[in-house]
Amino acid sequence: MEHIPVLLNEAIDNLNIKKGGVYVDATLGGGGHSSLILQKLNGTGHLYAFDVDDFSIEEAKKKLSSTKKDNYTIIKSNFSNLKEELNALGVLSFDGIIYDLGVSSFQFDIPEKGFSYNLDAKLDMRMDDTLKISAWDIVNKFSYEEIRNIIYRYGEDNFAPAIAKAIVNDRKIKPIDTTFELVAVIKKALPMKELSKKGHPAKKTFQALRVAVNHELDALSDSLNQAVEMLNKDGRIAVIDFEPLEDKIVKDIFRKNYTPINIKGLPVMPEDPILKRITKKPILPSEEELERNRRSHSAMLRVVQKA
Q: Which domains are seen in the chain, by residue range?
A: 8-106+216-306 (3.40.50.150), 111-214 (1.10.150.170)
Asked whether the predicted pLDDT for residue 233 surpasses 60, the reply is yes
Mean pLDDT of the chain: 92
Per-residue pLDDT of 140-149, as tens digits, reads 999 999 999 9
pTM equals 0.89
Q: What was the pLDDT predicted at 55? A: 87
With cut-offs at 50, 70 and 90, classify the pLDDT of residue 105: low
Is 2's pLDDT higher than 80? no
Contacts of 112 (CB under 8 A, 6+ apart): 121, 122, 124
Q: Collect all residues with Cβ–Cβ distance below 8 Å to 159 and sequence separation of at least 6.
A: 189, 190, 194
Q: What is the rounded CA–CA span in Å between residue 90 and residue 85?
A: 9
Q: What is the mean pLDDT of residues 282-305?
A: 90
Residue 201 pLDDT: 96
| Residue 292: predicted pLDDT | 85
Average pLDDT of the segment spanning 116-133:
92
pLDDT tens digits for range 63-72: 999 989 999 9
pLDDT in tens, 13-48: 999 999 999 999 999 999 999 999 999 999 999 999
Residue 52 reports pLDDT greater than 60: yes
- The answer to whether the CB of 60 falls within 8 A of the CB of 29 is yes
For 256-283, what is each residue's pLDDT tens digit? Answer: 998 655 556 655 544 678 999 999 899 9
- What is the residue-wise DSSP string for the chain? -----TTHHHHHHHHT--TT-EEEES--TTSHHHHHHHHH--TT-EEEEEE--HHHHHHHHHHHHTTT---EEEEES-GGGHHHHHHHTT---EEEEEEE-SPPHHHHH-GGG---TTS--BS---SSTT-S--HHHHHHHS-HHHHHHHHHHHH--TTHHHHHHHHHHHHHHS---BHHHHHHHHHHHS-HHHHTSSS-TTHHHHHHHHHHHHTHHHHHHHHHHHHHHHEEEEEEEEEEE-SHHHHHHHHHHHHHTTS----TTSPPPP---SEEES-SS-B---HHHHHH-GGGTT-EEEEEEE-
Confidence (pLDDT) at 112: 73
pLDDT at 270: 46
Contacts of 43 (CB under 8 A, 6+ apart): 71
Give CA–CA dist 63/104, Å, rounded.
15
